[in-house]
């Protein structure tokens, strides 16, 4: 069983700032670095580090070939990554002194997915495979329709969330992995417990994972309602923490672990991620996680 992750690949431009820039303000940054990123690619890297066979599908520009090579070195299958005319997607990321981030993304090549790409990626899914999706590429609604037709198990992380996500055919999603912002957009509820309840009413067959940042995570399905607290660590940079959680949680789920253990793996991996700078580069390897 493998994961096919149809998702973004970004070049992250990361600026360390005293505070997030305000309207009309010109702000000097203390430090600037370029990292590899993209919610999709980060999640593929976390899965590969966790020992799962993962095929990443997506698009880069000619300026992003180094990102493809990096994924290959880490053990991600990159046969379904194509080079487009558009430049590679990128992110402008401010990280403040508390390690929080504010991110602007530009889709670039991530948004040049055409119907033929969707067909070939879905054709590569075999019975029992998982299709992992985020919301940083175009065509996610079409991908969901094709996945439903073929009975593919979909894990959906609707980030970054937009109004349009509410109109996606979400009824066939096996597992939603959302944060409070995404949960509020999908349900119009603000309280975590109400978000969970509303998601369960709307999507009774789905599993719901609601991440709460430093408050931890809640998991719900028709039989379980579980929560797990985050670990107390010195936070340097939270970028990629959600992606790390997703990769490690999903890896444990695929390996048939109990939900409790899946949540624990995700929480431990993301606790290590936030103590390091950058997104993809801060994702720990399996042997770094003490279980
Ligand atoms: O989740 C973190 C990621 O969001 C960054 O790597 C950035 O590229 C944006 O996609």
Cross-strand bridge partners of residue 40: none
Which of 12, 77, 117, 243 is flagged as catalytic? Answer: 243
What's the gap in Å between 113 CA and the centre of ligand 1? 19
- Closest atom of ligand 1 to 280 CA is 6
pLDDT number for residue 190: 97
pTM: 0.97
Ligand 1 atom 10: residue of nearest CA:
38
Query: In this model, does residue 152 exceed pLDDT 80?
Result: yes
Q: Is 228 a pocket residue for ligand 1 (Cβ < 6 Å)?
A: no
- pLDDT tens by residue, 153-178: 999 999 999 999 999 999 989 999 99
Query: In this model, does residue 291 exceed pLDDT 90?
Result: no
- Taking the C-alpha atoms of residue 6 and residue 12, their distance in angstroms, rounded to an integer, is 19
pLDDT number for residue 7: 98
Phi–psi pair at 190, nearest 5 degrees: -105, -35
- Vertex 183 angle, CA 180 and 185, to 5°: 110
- pLDDT tens by residue, 1-55: 899 999 999 999 999 999 999 999 999 999 999 999 999 999 999 999 999 999 9
pLDDT number for residue 66: 98
Q: In what order do the strands lie in the sheet with 217-220?
A: 77-83, 54-60, 3-6, 130-133, 153-156, 173-179, 207-211, 217-220, 225-228
The torsion region of residue 188 among left (phi > 0), alpha (psi -120 to 50) and beta comes to: left
In which element (H, E) is residue 175 found?
strand 173-179
pLDDT number for residue 269: 98
Q: Is 12 a pocket residue for ligand 1 (Cβ < 6 Å)?
A: yes
pLDDT number for residue 49: 98
Q: Is 103 a pocket residue for ligand 1 (Cβ < 6 Å)?
A: yes
């Amino acid at each position: 069983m493998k994961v096919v992750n149809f998702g973004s690949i970004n070049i992250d431009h990361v600026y360390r700032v005293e505070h997030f820039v305000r309207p009309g303000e010109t702000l000097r940054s203390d430090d600037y670095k370029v990292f590899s990123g993209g919610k999709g690619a980060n999640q593929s890297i976390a899965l590969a580090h966790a020992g799962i066979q993962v095929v990443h599908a997506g698009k880069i520009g000619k300026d992003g070939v180094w990102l493809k090579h990096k994924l290959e070195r880490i053990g991600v299958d990159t046969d379904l990554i194509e080079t487009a005319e558009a430049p590679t997607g990128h992110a402008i990321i401010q990280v403040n002194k508390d390690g929080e981030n504010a991110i602007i993304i530009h889709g670039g090549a991530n948004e040049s997915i055409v119907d033929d790409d969707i067909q070939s990626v879905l054709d590569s899914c075999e019975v029992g495979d998982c299709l992992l999706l985020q919301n940083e590429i175009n065509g996610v609604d079409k991908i969901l329709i094709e996945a439903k037709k073929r009975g593919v198990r979909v894990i959906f992380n609707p980030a970054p969330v937009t109004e349009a996500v509410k109109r996606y055919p979400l009824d066939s999603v096996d597992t939603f992995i959302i944060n409070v912002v995404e949960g509020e957009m999908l349900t119009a509820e603000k309280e975590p417990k109400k978000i969970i309840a509303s998601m369960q009413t709307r999507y009774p067959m789905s599993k719901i994972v609601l991440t709460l940042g430093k408050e931890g995570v809640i998991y719900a399905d028709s039989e379980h309602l579980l929560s797990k607290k985050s670990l107390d660590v010195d936070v340097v940079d939270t970028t990629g923490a959600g992606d790390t959680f997703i990769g490690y949680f999903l890896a444990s789920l695929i390996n048939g672990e109990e939900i409790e253990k899946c949540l624990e793996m995700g929480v431990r991996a993301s606790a290590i991620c936030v103590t390091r700078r950058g997104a993809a580069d801060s994702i720990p390897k399996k042997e770094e996680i003490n279980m």
